[in-house]
Amino acid sequence: MVQMEQGFGDIFQYARFLPFLKVLGAKKLVVLTVPNLFQVLGQMECIDQLTNLTEEGPAAECDLWIGSMSLPYYIDCAMPYAKSLFPITKKKVVGSEGYFEAEASNIPRKIGVNWSASKGTLHWIKSISAEHMESLVGDDVYSLNPETEGSFRPLPNDGWKKDWSITAKHMKAMKGVVTVDTGTAHLAGALGVKCIVLLPKEEFVCWRWKNARWYDSVCLLRPNEYEQLPEIIRRM
């Protein structure tokens, strides 16, 4: 039983390691997570069952519980044949993108943006104003912010704010994504959608963006590089 840990971005990021457990011989893989991720994670063939129950049901019947963010450690300790299937280097971290799939929705093909990080410790440090985002990308883009559209185009009111699988379909239809939010960024990367992450000041940059290349489709910009954004979007 793998308990998916931390925020949505961490869950999307570490889902790439789940197939490793089947390589090691696990007969049944149960994943414990929140229901609005069931459809996204459920497409992974290695997962036998998803649940949000801890006291009863399939999770309570498992032989071993492990947190998702501990999986890379066990890969590093594994037999050579298993490690060769799941390389972890600074240039590649296991299936660098495209381990999620989604059928693109029928929205017009535009950029999607999220200027607000999840409500955590670094929310105000990571986030930028909607006006700042508009100055960089214009207003003819979709809002991927579940709390407000700001001055941007709203996505269809089809439940995407409460179901990441619907968000994934809309993102798959977009030209690309510009975001400060890690959940949005990791979902785009896992889908293989082009994504630009606007990082905060260097002292607040998360370890995951400093130490390895997690996705070939994700581009990172420091604050002194934000002015490159219009040209990158033009090339998209």
Question: For 172-226, how does the pLDDT look when each residue is reduced to its tens digit (9 = 90+)?
Answer: 999 999 999 999 999 999 999 999 999 999 989 988 888 778 898 999 999 999 9
Regarding whether 223 and 184 lie in a shared domain, the answer is yes
pLDDT in tens, 95-135: 667 889 999 999 999 999 999 988 777 888 899 999 999 99
Regarding whether 226 and 128 lie in a shared domain, the answer is yes
106, part of any domain: no
Regarding whether 228 and 121 lie in a shared domain, the answer is yes
Round to whole Å and give the CA distance between 132 and 150. 11
* The predicted structure's pLDDT at residue 121: 76
Round to whole Å and give the CA distance between 21 and 46. 8
The structure's pTM equals 0.91
Name the average pLDDT for the chain.
Answer: 91
Round to whole Å and give the CA distance between 216 and 218. 6
Regarding whether 24 and 73 lie in a shared domain, the answer is yes
Regarding whether 127 and 26 lie in a shared domain, the answer is no
196, part of any domain: yes
79, part of any domain: yes
Helical packing angle, 182-191 and 164-173, nearest 10°: 60
Q: How far apart are the first and last CA of the chain?
A: 40
Provide the residue range defining the domain that includes 212: 111-235
Q: Looking at the predicted structure, is the pLDDT value of residue 170 above 80?
A: yes
Regarding whether 77 and 43 lie in a shared domain, the answer is yes
Q: What percent of the chain has pLDDT over 90?
A: 67
* The predicted structure's pLDDT at residue 51: 95
**Confidence band of 36 (pLDDT split at 50, 70, 90):** very high
92, part of any domain: no
Residue type, 115: W
Mean of the pLDDT values across residues 49-75? 90
Regarding whether 73 and 115 lie in a shared domain, the answer is no
27, part of any domain: yes
* The predicted structure's pLDDT at residue 122: 80
What are the backbone angles phi and psi of residue 182, rounded to the nearest 5°? -70, -35
Residue 19 is given by DSSP the state H
